[in-house]
Amino acid sequence: MLEDYLDINPEVTEAVRAGKPVVALESTIISHGMPYPRNVETALRVEQIVRQQGALPATIAILGGRLKVGLTPEEIGTLGKLGLKVHKASRRDLPFLVSKRADGATTVASTMIIAALAGIRVFATGGIGGVHRGATETFDISADLQELAHTNVAVVCAGVKSILDIGLTLEYLESNGVPVVGYQTEEMPAFYTRESGFKVDYRVDSAKEVAEALKAKWDLGLNGGIIIANPIPAAYAMDPAIISEAIARAIAESEETGIKGKDITPFLLDRVQQITGGHSLDSNIQLVFNNARLGAEIAIELSRL
């Protein structure tokens, strides 16, 4: 039945069947996260980094209603050029985009779903969604968190996007049994910065340690993912005061203009980029590269177990 909806690149199919390391990559970062052509350049560079580490990249998207695992460079280029014209696709959107034969760029949640369907267990991204600031009134909580509670895919990220409420996000994850581990850190990174003031559940110091925990979790039948929070490299981290001021301005503007729902995150990231003179975009790209390297290392260690 899955073949009616799912197209897996033959190279990815062969790697999964052979137990070789594969790293899933999302596509929202291509269409909604960066301007063209830098989005395409970044996506192709991320795939190159994964290959250089010894794993196989599998960028995921929805094209013509087909769930695609392992995009070609041409398909990545098409997504990048279309940009915001492509639907931002989370769990709730999948059946409608498929039935309407539409295009969709996958979020963390939908990338996890499609990766799991393809047998891929490790996913590298920039930052996960979470509980939005002011959620005690708006109840704006990303579907990423529920997906992490149920879908057996490990997510390597630079923490929760700093435009969100990190403390409430961590509480929500704890309530849903999602382990949050810090890679070579005891503090939850905050996307653009290495510190947030919040502690992780566990510290891990090697990719092998992560892989062993993943195997134990899933062998025990404990469904759901694990967050591997990988701090942005120090050389590319932003000044906390500068990024906090930029985020506050962007949030105020979103409230004034009434932007809500799935449009809010792309708007905030774009405004922060503009306010910081592009520095936040540079940091964003570097943290994605860093996560791709670690994701490949974890996939390799997991394939050895």
Q: Give the lowest-confidence range in 124-128, 228-232, 248-252.
A: 248-252
Residue 220 tokens, joined: 């025990």
Q: Rounded to an integer, what distance in angstroms lies between the CA atom of residue 158 and that of residue 228?
A: 8
pLDDT tens by residue, 46-76: 999 999 999 999 999 999 999 999 999 999 9
- As a whole number, mean pLDDT of residues 231-251 equals 87
Q: Is the confidence at residue 206, as pLDDT, over 90?
A: yes
**Category of 233 on φ-ψ map: left (φ > 0), alpha (ψ -120 to 50) or beta:** beta
Query: How far is it, in rounded angstroms, from Cα 64 to Cα 52?
Result: 31
Q: What is the predicted pLDDT for the residue at 269?
A: 74
Count of structural domains, the chain: 1
Q: Give the pLDDT mean for 134-163.
A: 88
CATH code: domain of residue 263: 3.40.1790.10
**Residue appearing with tokens 């290959």:** 51
281 or 225, which is more confident? 225
Question: What pLDDT is recorded for position 299?
Answer: 98
Average pLDDT, the chain: 93
- Cβ proximity of 246 and 191 under 8 Å: no
The pLDDT of residue 1 is above 80: no
HEC string of 102-114?
Answer: CCEEECHHHHHHH
Tokens 């490949």 correspond to 296
Lowest-confidence region among 64-73, 75-84, 95-104, 238-247: 238-247
- How many CA atoms does the CB half-sphere of 16 hold within 13 Å? 20
Token pair, residue 42, equals: 């970044």
Residues 6+ apart with CB under 8 A from 235: none
Among 88, 161, 262, 297, the active-site one is: 161
59 sits in the region (left: phi over 0; alpha: psi -120 to 50; else beta) called beta
What is residue 287's predicted lDDT score, i.e. its pLDDT?
96
Q: Note if 161 is an active site residue.
A: yes
pTM: 0.93
Cα–Cα distance measured from residue 292 to residue 305, given in angstroms and rounded to the nearest whole number? 20
Could you say which of 26, 47, 147, 301 is catalytic?
26
Which tokens is 257 given?
């203009």
Q: 260 catalytic, yes or no? A: no
Residue 305, token pair as written in the block = 């177990």
Pick the closest to residue 112 from 219, 24, 228, 194 (CA basis).
Answer: 24
Q: Domain range spanning residue 96? A: 2-304
Please spell the DSSP secondary structure of 193-240, one letter per residue: BS--S-B-SEEE-SHHHHHHHHHHHHHTT--S--EEE-PPPGGGPPPH
pLDDT at 197: 92
pLDDT in tens, 10-33: 999 999 999 999 999 999 999 988
Residue 136, pLDDT > 80, answer no
Task: State the average pLDDT over residues 246-250.
Answer: 81
Which H or E run includes 122? Answer: strand 122-124
| Lowest mean per-residue pLDDT among 2-11, 179-188, 276-285, 289-298 | 276-285
Q: Which residue has the tokens 């959620």?
A: 135
Percent of the chain whose predicted confidence (pLDDT) is above 70: 99
Please report the pLDDT score of residue 225 as a whole number: 98
- For the cut 80, the answer to whether the pLDDT of residue 253 exceeds it is yes
What is d(CA 272, CA 23) in angstroms, rounded to the nearest whole number?
29
| CA distances for 157 relative to 32, 47, 128, 267, angstroms | 17, 16, 7, 20
d(CA 163, CA 175): 22
Q: Of the given ranges (3-7, 86-90, 230-234, 280-284), which has the lowest mean pLDDT?
A: 280-284
- Torsion angles phi and psi, residue 57, rounded to 5: -80, 150
